[in-house]
Copies of this chain bind each other. A is one copy, B any other.
């Protein structure tokens, strides 16, 4: 077991002012996660996590092209600056088009075998979306999403009992591909993710309310260009929310 000296706090490394802005007080909060030397963080999910990442670089931690273009990249940049002494090892294994059943199929290789210290999952939008695409041959419901995700998480905590879990809320905005057909059905997927976060003692990142609030300031497509996938602004907002929720800064 690591002792207290193994943990890094932003407040402790603030010798260069730029390296510690805005985090020092909140990072003392025991609800936020602590980082020990070489903490391994794994991002898992669908296209929103994938972000066209370069598979050839996926074995290199903290690699710009290996992290894709969206929130895992921006969150990693943030973490690497805030905790430069921690020698963090951050990976992305999101795959575009995936839902819970796809994660189940590849979980051993793409999660369990990697032994992450922190595992962040964002999954759910395809579990709904693909119901409408006959060629996908998938007709899941919020209930089957709930059951499958529950099973996946049960396996995860059994195989990786020391891994800290982060469950990100799936989200949409009514623009582009998202029309009235998504409501209220999609709410059930969001509710299931929130319920499972509580059940498995995971940190829950409430993205939907964040995007709803953001739409008071700029139109939906400013944040999610097609209602599902983030713009640069939306992705940055996700990374900031993820950092604030999980690390208090």
A-side interface residues toward B, CB under 8 Å?
13, 15-16, 18-19, 21-22, 62-65, 67, 69, 73-74, 76-78, 80-81, 84-85, 87, 210, 213-214, 216-218, 222, 231-233, 235-237, 239-241, 244
Q: How far is the CB of A244 from chain B (nearest CB, A)?
A: 7
Q: How far is the CB of A72 from chain B (nearest CB, A)?
A: 11
Is B73's CB under 8 angstroms from A65's CB?
no
Q: Given the complex, which residues of B lie within 8 Å of A233, measured CB to CB?
A: 62, 77, 80-81, 84
Partner of A77, one of B62, B210, B236, B244: B236
- Nearest chain-B residue to A230 (Cβ)? B64
Q: Given the complex, which residues of B lie within 8 Å of A244, measured CB to CB?
A: 18, 21
Is A16's CB under 8 angstroms from B222's CB?
no
| Measured CA separation A94–B247 after assembly (Å) | 34
| Measured CA separation A50–B231 after assembly (Å) | 20
Partner of A73, one of B19, B214, B217, B232: B232
The answer to whether A210 and B16 touch (CB under 8 A), given A232-B67, A232-B73, A235-B77, is yes
Q: How far is the CB of A237 from chain B (nearest CB, A)?
A: 5
Is B22's CB under 8 angstroms from A214's CB?
no
The answer to whether A69 and B78 touch (CB under 8 A), given A214-B16, A217-B16, A217-B84, is no
Partner of A13, one of B62, B63, B217, B237: B217
- Nearest chain-B residue to A236 (Cβ)? B77
Q: Given the complex, which residues of B lie within 8 Å of A237, measured CB to CB?
A: 18-19, 81
- Nearest chain-B residue to A13 (Cβ)? B217
The answer to whether A232 and B15 touch (CB under 8 A), given A84-B214, A240-B81, is no
| Measured CA separation A213–B69 after assembly (Å) | 28
| Measured CA separation A74–B81 after assembly (Å) | 13
| Measured CA separation A210–B78 after assembly (Å) | 16
New contact pairs (15) apart from A18-B240, A62-B233, A85-B217, CB-CB < 8 Å: A13-B217, A15-B217, A16-B214, A16-B217, A18-B237, A19-B217, A19-B237, A21-B244, A62-B231, A64-B232, A65-B69, A76-B232, A78-B236, A80-B236, A81-B237
